[in-house]
């Protein structure tokens, strides 16, 4: 937005502007804790007060310089320098202190730890496509497309499961793991940290401890992609809940604690290798400043699709969803439905995320079609206080409570209750799939010949969303591509089914019937 009216920030406000840039320019090696400024390594020690010192010095210098642009008063320049230095040092201190403590605890317990900054957008959330445009690497400082205004809101601390945290298949913490997580939890406990204050404690220390009152902490359990996906999601949730209870026992209010079983859906390493699968078995502790930052963080999480691999279980071996016939009774199968199309072997690759030519293929899933994939289950984010799922508050525009349909070789195919959450790690509700065989639009609409509530995977690309539907009835699956531009129709979508003992594919374009409810 442009304006012919110019305005000037108050000198004290202007003095703090470079601090956010400084903090985002400070980087820490997630594995070793080595710190750098603007790409230059300045310390191998994760406990070096790099962010504190540089934040204070640069904040003070910049505060004085910026203030001098508005006034010639020496007193004002000094005051501006003091204000900038105070803000810079306070922000840097909080980051340094927590990072140092986490690496020290991990070293004491011989645990593998990774620490990353949590970056969220300033102000309103950017469009969903802007977040999906650059799929983040695990150590990425920001998942947003260039040009988005972001800020550091906390830390993500990951502790790899080295086999000593939980017994195989168990959600019960070992005594050693309980001690480890108790010490980690103490860093977030207001009463425990308050008790450490003394007469010589600085204002930065006091401010950092006061900030614990509003922090939101999310404990996330993760697995690799071996085994049953639903079992993985449930086991990872139970483990995350066990850690959350340790945090509550250390004095952190249950209202500030959340947990989730993400299962295999948010990998940080390549599941094609044993080392990658080992890295994906982990517990993640995400802390953010307040409730607003928490919801922004959730809305901007993304999968790293390059780490997914094709399913070891053919889709034909998976159980079909419960289906209903015309009278509402159970109907496990439906007589053959001819959807037309061509042999699937002639489809050399899946359409890309743009629904056409796309120069950026890094966001494409590893599995080329839904027939080589499987449902990937995750459980929702739950509040420890209520034990209930956190209500979903943000959806992709045009993809909330929507209904879609198209005729495929004379058969009407419909999808209702289609929802796509903004959060790439969130659970999507199951849609309702309906099929009318040999549909005649000139006759009164009869009850559907087939109805089911299939599982879905949602993959976010740079320009479109792949809404992958697993059916297992008269068709195997569908790949539906929804552009972020909310055009009211899907593009280059594919339906896979068995015909003459071969796999066939038919193209279609679902069109919106409801327009969505935003």
pLDDT per residue over 75-97, tens digit each?
Answer: 444 444 444 444 445 555 676 78
270 inside domain = yes
pLDDT per residue over 373-402, tens digit each?
Answer: 999 999 999 999 999 999 988 899 899 999
Q: Of the candidates 47, 74, 101, which is a domain's last residue?
A: 101
**Does one domain contain both 407 and 488?**
yes
Both tokens of residue 227? Answer: 């085994």
**Does one domain contain both 66 and 27?**
yes
Q: Of the candidates 50, 83, 101, which is a domain's last residue?
A: 101
pLDDT greater than 90 at residue 506: yes
Give the separation between CA 490 and CA 484, rounded to whole angstroms. Answer: 10
The helix (run of H) or strand (run of E) holding residue 324 is strand 323-324
**Does one domain contain both 161 and 297?**
yes
Q: Can you tell me the mean pLDDT for 233-251?
A: 98
323 inside domain = yes
pLDDT of residue 167: 86
* Phi-psi region at 106: left, alpha or beta (left = phi > 0; alpha = psi -120 to 50): alpha
Q: Of the candidates 101, 121, 141, which is a domain's last residue?
A: 101
**Does one domain contain both 204 and 279?**
yes
Give the separation between CA 37 and CA 49, rounded to whole angstroms. Answer: 12
Buried b (16+ CB within 10 A) or exposed e, 178-209: bebbbbbbbbbbbebbeeeeeeeeeebbeebb
**Does one domain contain both 223 and 357?**
no
250 inside domain = yes
CATH number, domain with residue 153: 3.30.1330.60
**Does one domain contain both 50 and 174?**
no
Buried b (16+ CB within 10 A) or exposed e, 344-371: beebeebbbbbbeebeeeebbbebebbb
Is residue 305 within 8 Å of 468, Cβ to Cβ?
A: no
518 inside domain = no
**Does one domain contain both 182 and 278?**
yes
Kindly list the strands in the beta sheet with 150-160, ordered across the sheet, starting from the edge strand earlier in the chain. Answer: 113-121, 150-160, 282-288, 216-222, 257-263, 382-383
**Does one domain contain both 145 and 217?**
yes
Residue ranges of the alpha helices (H) in 160-212? 175-186, 190-194, 203-210
**Does one domain contain both 169 and 256?**
yes
**Does one domain contain both 266 and 327?**
no
- The pTM of the full predicted model, rounded to 2 decimals, is 0.81
pLDDT of residue 104: 96
450 inside domain = yes
378 inside domain = no
Q: Is the model more confident about 130 or about 456?
A: 456
- The count of structural domains within the chain is 3
Task: Please give the residue range of the domain that contains residue 213.
Answer: 109-309
pLDDT of residue 2: 37
pLDDT greater than 70 at residue 324: no
Choose among 218, 299, 243, 232: nearest CA to 271: 232
Give the separation between CA 115 and CA 307, rounded to whole angstroms. Answer: 20
382 inside domain = no
**Does one domain contain both 452 and 483?**
yes
**Does one domain contain both 446 and 323?**
yes
SS3 25: helix
């Amino acid at each position: 937005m442009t304006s012919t009216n110019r305005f000037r920030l108050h000198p004290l406000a202007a003095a703090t502007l470079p601090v956010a840039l400084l903090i985002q320019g400070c980087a820490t090696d997630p594995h070793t804790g080595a710190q750098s400024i603007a790409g230059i390594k300045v310390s191998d020690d994760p406990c070096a007060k790099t962010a504190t010192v540089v934040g204070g010095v640069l904040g003070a210098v910049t505060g004085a310089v910026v203030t001098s642009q508005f006034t010639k008063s020496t007193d004002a320049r000094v005051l501006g320098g003091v204000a900038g230095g105070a803000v810079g040092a306070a922000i840097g201190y909080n980051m340094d202190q927590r990072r140092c403590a986490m690496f020290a605890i991990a070293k004491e317990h011989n645990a593998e730890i990774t620490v990353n900054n949590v970056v969220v957008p300033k102000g309103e959330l950017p469009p969903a496509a802007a977040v999906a445009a650059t799929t983040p690497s695990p150590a990425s400082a920001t998942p947003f497309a260039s040009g988005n205004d972001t800020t550091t809101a906390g830390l993500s601390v990951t502790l790899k499961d080295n086999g000593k945290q939980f017994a195989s298949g168990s959600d019960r913490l070992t005594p050693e793991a309980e001690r480890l997580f108790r010490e980690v939890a103490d860093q977030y406990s207001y009463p425990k940290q308050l008790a450490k204050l003394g007469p010589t404690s600085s204002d930065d220390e006091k401010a950092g401890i006061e900030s614990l009152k509003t922090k939101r902490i999310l404990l996330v359990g993760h697995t690799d992609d071996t085994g049953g996906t639903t079992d993985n999601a449930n086991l990872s949730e139970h483990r995350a809940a066990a850690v959350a209870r340790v945090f509550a026992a250390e004095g952190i209010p249950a209202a500030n604690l959340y947990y989730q079983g993400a299962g295999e859906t948010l990998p940080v390493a390549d599941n094609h290798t044993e080392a990658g699968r080992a890295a994906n078995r982990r517990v993640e502790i995400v802390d953010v400043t307040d409730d607003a930052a928490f919801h922004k963080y959730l809305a901007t999480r993304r999968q790293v699709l390059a780490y997914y691999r094709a399913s070891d279980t053919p889709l034909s071996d998976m159980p079909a969803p419960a289906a209903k016939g015309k009278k509402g009774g159970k109907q496990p199968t439906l007589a053959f439905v001819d959807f037309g199309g061509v042999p699937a072997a002639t489809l050399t690759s899946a359409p890309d995320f743009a629904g056409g030519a796309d120069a950026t293929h890094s966001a494409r899933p590893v599995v080329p079609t839904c027939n080589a994939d499987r449902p990937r289950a995750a459980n929702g984010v739950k509040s420890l206080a209520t034990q209930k799922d956190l209500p979903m508050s943000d959806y992709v525009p045009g993809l909330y409570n929507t209904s879609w349909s198209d005729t495929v070789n004379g058969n009407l195919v419909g999808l209702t209750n289609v929802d796509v959450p903004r959060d790439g790690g969130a659970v999507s509700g199951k849609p309702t799939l309906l099929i009318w065989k040999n549909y005649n639009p000139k006759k009164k609409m009869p009850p559907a010949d087939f109805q089911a509530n299939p599982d879905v995977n949602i993959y976010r690309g740079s320009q479109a969303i792949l809404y992958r539907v697993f059916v297992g009835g008269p068709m195997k699956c569908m790949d539906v591509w929804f552009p972020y531009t909310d055009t009211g129709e899907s593009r280059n979508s594919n339906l896979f089914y068995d015909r003459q003992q071969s796999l066939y594919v038919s193209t279609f374009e679902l069109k919106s019937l409801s327009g969505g409810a935003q």
